[in-house]
Amino acid sequence: MSNIPLAERLRPKTLDDYIGQSHLVGKGNIIRRMMESGNISSFILWGPPGVGKTTLARILANELKRPFHTLSAVNSGVKDVREVIEKARSQRFFNHPSPILFIDEIHRFSKSQQDSLLGAVEEGVVTLIGATTENPSFEVIPPLLSRCQVYVLKSLEKNELELLLERALSTDFEFKQLNVKVQETDALFRFSGGDARKLLNILDIVICSQESEEILINNSIVTEKLQENIARYDKSGEQHYDIISAFIKSIRGSDPNAAVYWLARMIEGGEDPKFIARRLLILASEDIGLANPNALLLATSCFQAVSMVGWPESRIILSEAAIYLATSPKSNSAYMAINDAQALVKESGDLSVPLHIRNAPTKLMKDLGYGDNYKYAHSYKGNFADQEFLPEEISGKTLYTPQENAKEKEIATRLKHLWKDKYK
């Protein structure tokens, strides 16, 4: 068997061979259009591991015949960035397109490293393609972010994983010579979690660990072989995403013991404390919300404190926050409300703002009726006046529904008192 990993052997060379991300590379979509026009701008690819960020950058460079420079934020410094930029400058010729500079894990670049890219990106010395598993809004400095589009990549769907599996067995030089019988794929797809590289790693393990003439792939064999080869299965640190998922779900499930256990696993694994603290911030608003509004305040304080303190003391701050959030009452009413509101906006379009709540800074606007009959709440008893704030077409629509917890029962009582039948 080859020493080259299956994922590398199957790395696609063209967009037509690329699996997934049809919203970006499908016919008529943005990255496909850029490639066909030959004119690409700097952008950042944001998505989970194993969905083809590096591959997509390589394909673009190859198909557009651009020089391709790559840096990893894990082991590159400002000096490395400047050397690549100088090399790119030396390759520039009149009317020739700029080289592509691909930076993997760009979220790990420091501010000074990102600053060193600004001039070259702005002048067009290089076309920057960054790859990140973290939200660029948090990790990429605003001046650089403003010069790049951000494209979101998604985990592969089941049909895409099926296509990848079929391609691996039918086109890989080594595997197509074997007698592989696929009986079940549930475990194979479940363990891969929409990660193409992980799927191919698992497939490599399962096939290479069987020496019989007929190689079987079914749920029990996949599970058994992964348990025997767990170190190899997770050699890229991809279990990181499984553990943060377990941590969040333990807090959401109100289990402080499990929350602290998974927190300890991340700490012992060298996880970035700010990564953990950011996840707590999201959870505090998404899963606890109005059942305990103090949760978001504490999570915010946790993030600020962790940013100032660092290891090892930050572990205590994270532990306190995790336990507090795990033992807090839970509500996703704010999360559901904004989801429903966004769905309503997409469905109903840009409805007009009612005249009585429009701003009227000029005489003309006042003459047109802007602000007429608006009731200033503070001029009424209880600082409340019954009036309609939604567009006429969706008047009376309920988007926020208080849930069954002590705090939101108080909110529900107040809303019913104010609005009578509008909030039942």
Closest CA to 276 of 342, 226, 321: 321
- Mean pLDDT value of segment 366-395: 79
> Mean pLDDT: which of 294-303, 343-352, 380-389, 399-408 is highest?
294-303
pLDDT tens digits along 233-289:
454 455 667 788 889 999 998 888 889 988 988 887 777 888 899 999 999 999 998
According to CATH, the superfamily of the domain at 21-152 is P-loop containing nucleotide triphosphate hydrolases (3.40.50.300)
Rounded to the nearest 10°, the torsion over CA 378, 382, 386, 390 is: 60
Residue 50 three-state SS = coil
Answer whether 41's CB lies under 8 Å from 146's CB. Answer: no
Domain residue limits, the chain? 21-152, 158-233, 239-326, 352-422
Alpha carbons 55 and 84: distance in angstroms, whole number: 20
Closest CA to 67 of 58, 77, 76, 75: 58
Answer whether 318's CB lies under 8 Å from 276's CB. Answer: yes
pLDDT tens digits along 74-114:
777 788 888 888 888 877 666 677 889 999 888 888 888 88
Right CATH for 239-326 from 3.90.850.10, 3.90.1150.10, 3.30.300.160, 1.20.272.10: 1.20.272.10
Identify the CATH number of the domain defined by range 158-233.
1.10.8.60
pTM of structure: 0.61
Q: Give the percent of the chain with pLDDT over 70.
A: 93
What is residue 103's DSSP assignment? E
Bridge partners, residue 102, by sequence: 70, 129
